[in-house]
Amino acid sequence: MVTDVVVDRVMRRLARAIDGMELPAVEKIAETRQDDPFQVLISTLLSARTQDATTLAASTRLFSQARTPAAMATLTVRQIEELIYPVSFYRNKAVFVKQTCKVLVDRFGGRVPSTLEELVTLPGVGRKTATLVLILAFRSRRHICVDTHVHRIANRMGWVRTRQPSETEQALYQATKRKWWPVINLYLVTWGQNVCRPVYPRCNECAIVSDCRRVNVTHVGKKQDKPEGQT
Ligand code: SF4
């Protein structure tokens, strides 16, 4: 089990190291439109398995046509598909967007609900999306959002030993102090996109290598000319 001292040191180093790195797309949208949980929700739905730049462009196109659940519910699935293409699974996501908007209008008075239990009843919204919306749009300090980056890095560092992101979320509630919960996703997703990549992590340039157990890491990426993320 990781100690509080190590978690504190790693999180402080990551906070410094990610400063200046590109923010994940949904974080960017939340930063500029944090008073609009609807846009955070829809962007998060679009972001699954999609490059950040694609998510950002698709979200911008979609919101230029409809900014509220009521307005978006009037778009056809075909129109939504055309606006969000080429996000991954754009056909499925267009259906989910349309259905979610309709549910928001019919059951929630056109507003995004602010509880995990209600959010996961929306079409296409799983626990990962729901926790991210709660953290980014409702400033929740009681949730950790675990995606593939958080799951992978928490296991590599030796903070948890889990097979599924859902197990990782529960294990992280035990392994880390509450003050870190709202930023674990931001720090580890940014780190995962830039340094601790799925394949060939850049351990030689990693700011937290001295605290990382590097569990199951067998091949590392080549050192770049200009190190990124070093403190
Ligand atoms: S040392 Fe390597 S495995 Fe550990 S966090 Fe850094 S890049 Fe990832």
Quick one: 101 and 156 in the same domain? no
List pLDDT tens digits, range 59-107.
Answer: 999 999 999 999 999 999 999 999 999 999 999 999 999 999 999 999 9
CA dist 38 and 35 (Å) reads 9
Domain membership flag for residue 102 = yes
Q: Quick check: CB of 154 below 6 Å from ligand 1?
A: no
* Ligand 1 site-directed mutation target among 6, 18, 156, most atoms within 8 Å of CB: 156
List pLDDT tens digits, range 157-169.
Answer: 999 999 999 999 9
Task: Please tell me the predicted confidence (pLDDT) of residue 226.
Answer: 44
Which domain, by its residues, includes 54?
A: 33-138
Domain membership flag for residue 123 = yes
Residue 11 CB partners (closer than 8 Å, separation 6+)? 180, 183, 184, 187
Task: Please tell me the predicted confidence (pLDDT) of residue 34.
Answer: 60
Domains held by the chain: number: 2
Quick one: 51 and 96 in the same domain? yes
Polymer length in residues for the chain? 231
Quick one: 52 and 93 in the same domain? yes
Quick one: 114 and 187 in the same domain? no
* Greater pLDDT, 23 or 83: 83
Quick one: 17 and 37 in the same domain? no
Residue where one domain finishes, among candidates 138, 168, 188? 138
| Res 230 pLDDT > 50 | no
For residues 199-230, one letter each, b for 16 or more C-beta atoms within 10 angstroms of the residue's C-beta and e for the rest, the string is eebbbebbbbeebbeeeeeeebbeeeeeeebe
Domain membership flag for residue 109 = yes
List pLDDT tens digits, range 106-135.
Answer: 999 999 999 999 999 999 999 999 999 999
Q: Quick check: CB of 14 below 6 Å from ligand 1?
A: no
